[in-house]
Amino acid sequence: MTNQEIWQAVLGEMEISISRANFITWFKHTFISTIEDSKIIISVPNIFTKSWLENKYNKAIISALENVIKAKISEILYKVEPLRRDSAAVPIIEDVAIVNEWPADEKLKEKASKLNQFGLNTTYVFENFVVGKNNQLAHAACRAVAANPGTTYNPLFIYGGVGLGKTHLLHAIGNELSRQTKKILYVTCEKFTNDYVQAIRTGRAKEFKDFYRNIDVLMVDDIQFMGGKDGTQEEFFHTFNDLHQSNRQIIVSSDRQPKAIPSLEARLQSRFEWGMIVDITPPDTETRAAILETKCREKNYNLDEKIIAYIAETVQSNIRELEGALNRVVAYHQFNHIDPTLETTKDILAGIINNYQSKSISPKIIIEIVSHFYDVAIADVLGKSRKKELVIPRQVAMFLMREEIKTSFPTIGNEFGGRDHTTAIHACNKIGGEVKTNQRKKQEIESIKQLLYSL
Ligand code: ADP
Ligand code: MG
C-alpha cells in the first residue's frame, strides 16, 4: 500500500465517525509525509489543524491507522507543511457548490456572471435520488417546482435532520432548471448572511438588493441559521416579498419546521407557511438498501445483496453516514485486493456500530458531547469549580439544552447538581449573546451541534 492509499483508508474511517463539516474542516489538505517504523508524520496545512488533530482526533487517527496497516503505532507527529503538487494528499470533495455568487468585487462579478448556470454539484440530480416513504412528498414537491417554478408551491420549505438529502434535492432542482434560461441562485444561509453584512459594510447595500431581486429561482440552504440575525432577516424578508410578488420561486431548507426555528421573526415564519412545507424523515431499511445499491452502481462496484442488507440494517442514523460506511467497506477491500464477504464487512463495521445506535438527544448526551468537545471530565463540568475551562463548557451545555431540546431552566439547574434556575438563565443569555457577536464562538457552537446531530 502506498502512503496515499493508507491515508485514503484512514480518511474513509474518520469520515464516518465525525460530521461532514468537521471532516472537511480538519482533514482537507492533510497527508502522510513519512512512515518510519512505528512513527508517522502527518502533514497538515496550518497550525490550527495541527492543534485540533493533536487534541481531538489523535486517538481516533492512531486507531484507524493501526487498523489499516495492521501494526502498532508508537507515535504520530503533525507537521505544518503546505500542499505540493506531488504531495500524497487525498482529494476531499466538498459538497456545497455555489451556482452563482453575489460578487465581492468587480473582477469576481465578471466571473460570477459566467458561472451563472454552472457550478452546481452536478452529481446531485433527481435521477440518483432514491425515493422512499421517508422523502416521497419532498421529492414530489421538488419535482413539481422544477417543472413549474414560481407557480404552485411557492415558497417550498423542506425540513429534516442532518444528512437526509435536503441539499441533494436543492441541487437537483437547480440542475434541472439550469437547462432552461432561468437565473438560479443556490446559497447557504451563511453565505447570504455574510454577503449581506459585507455589502452593508462596504456601502453596497443597493447592489446587493438589486442582485438578489433579479433572480428567478432562489434557494437558501439551512435557513435555520438565520435565527437571531435580525438585520439579515429583515433583508431576506424584503427579498422574499419582492420575488414572491413577481411569481419567482423561493426554496428553503432547514433542520426543523419554521415555527421551531429559534428567534425567527413571526412574519418570516408566516411567509414560509404560505406555500408548501414538506419534511424528510430518516429512511427505513429497504430505502437504505436501495440507496446503497444506487451508490454501488455509481461507483461501478459490485456488492452482494447480503452485504448490502447488512450495512443497511447496521447503519441507521443518516444517509451521509450510510455512504461513509459503504466507502469504508469498498476502500478496505480495494486496498487489500480481496473480495468482500459478509464476515470482512462485519469486521470493518464492528468498531463503529455503537456510533450508529440512534440516540435521541437528552440533557445527559449534551453534557457528554460538550465535555468531550472541550476535553474535560463530565464530573468536572457538573461540579462546582469556577475555573474558566470548566465554566465555559458548563454554560455551553446549559445553552444547548435550552436551545436544542427546550429544557426548562429549573430542570437545567437540576441536571447540574441542583443549581438555581437563575444560573441557567444567566448562562443561556451569556452564550446566546456571544453567539450573536462572536463569529468564533458561533462556529464552536455549530461544531458541537454537528457532533450532537451526527450521533
Ligand atoms: P442534508 O442536506 O439533508 O444534510 P445531503 O443532501 O447533504 O443532506 O445528503 C447527504 C448525502 O446523502 C449526500 O451525499 C446525498 O447524495 C445522499 N443522499 C441523501 N438522500 C438520498 C437519497 N434519497 N438517495 C440517494 N442519495 C441520498
Ligand atoms: Mg445540507
Architecture of the domain made up of 363-453: Orthogonal Bundle (1.10)
Is the CB of residue 323 below 6 angstroms from any atom belonging to ligand 1? yes
What pTM was estimated for this model as a whole? 0.60
pLDDT at 114: 28
Is the CB of residue 445 below 6 angstroms from any atom belonging to ligand 1? no
Of all atoms in ligand 1, which is nearest to the CA of residue 161? 3
Structure-block grid coordinates of residue 448: 458541537
State the ligand closest to the CA atom of 190.
2
Q: Do residues 221 and 167 lie in contact, with contact meaning Cβ atoms separated by under 8 Å?
A: yes
Architecture of the domain made up of 1-92: 2-Layer Sandwich (3.30)
Indicate the top mutation candidate among 168, 253, 323 to test ligand 1's pocket, ranked by most ligand atoms within 8 A of CB: 168
Give the angle 308-313-315 at the CA atoms, nearest 5°: 95
Neighbours of 338 (CB within 10 A): 10
The type of residue at 445 is I
Going by the annotation, the residues of the binding site are 163, 165-167
Beta strand extents in 224-352 (DSSP E only) = 249-254, 276-280
Residue nearest atom 23 in ligand 1 by C-alpha distance: 130
Is the CB of residue 164 below 6 angstroms from any atom belonging to ligand 1? yes
Give the distance, in angstroms, between the CA of residue 149 and the centroid of all CA atoms in the same chain.
Answer: 27
Is the CB of residue 12 below 6 angstroms from any atom belonging to ligand 1? no
Q: Do residues 219 and 98 lie in contact, with contact meaning Cβ atoms separated by under 8 Å?
A: no
Of all atoms in ligand 1, which is nearest to the CA of residue 123? 16
Burial of 382: CB neighbours in 10 Å, binned 0-12, 13-18, 19+: middle
- For the chain, the domains span 1-92, 106-280, 363-453
Of all atoms in ligand 1, which is nearest to the CA of residue 280? 3
Find all residues with CB under 8 Å of 417, minimum gap 6, and list them: 382, 383, 384
Return the half-sphere exposure (C-beta side, CA atoms, 13 A cut-off) of residue 320: 23
C-alpha to C-alpha distance for 181 and 116, rounded to whole angstroms: 10
Residues β-bridged to residue 249 = 217
Of all atoms in ligand 1, which is nearest to the CA of residue 283? 23
- The values of phi and psi at residue 251, to 5°, are -130, 130
pLDDT 10s per residue in the chain (455 long)? 888 889 988 988 888 777 766 787 788 889 999 988 889 999 988 776 787 888 888 999 999 999 888 889 998 999 988 777 677 777 665 443 333 333 333 333 333 332 334 347 888 899 999 999 899 999 999 999 999 999 889 999 999 888 899 999 999 999 898 887 678 889 989 889 988 998 999 999 999 999 999 999 999 999 999 988 999 999 999 999 999 999 999 999 998 889 888 788 999 999 999 999 999 988 888 999 999 999 999 888 889 999 999 999 888 778 988 888 898 888 888 878 889 999 999 988 876 654 434 346 789 989 998 988 888 889 999 999 999 999 999 999 999 999 888 889 999 999 998 999 999 999 999 999 999 888 778 878 877 877 776 65
Q: Domain 106-280 carries which CATH code?
A: 3.40.50.300
C-alpha to C-alpha distance for 311 and 327, rounded to whole angstroms: 11
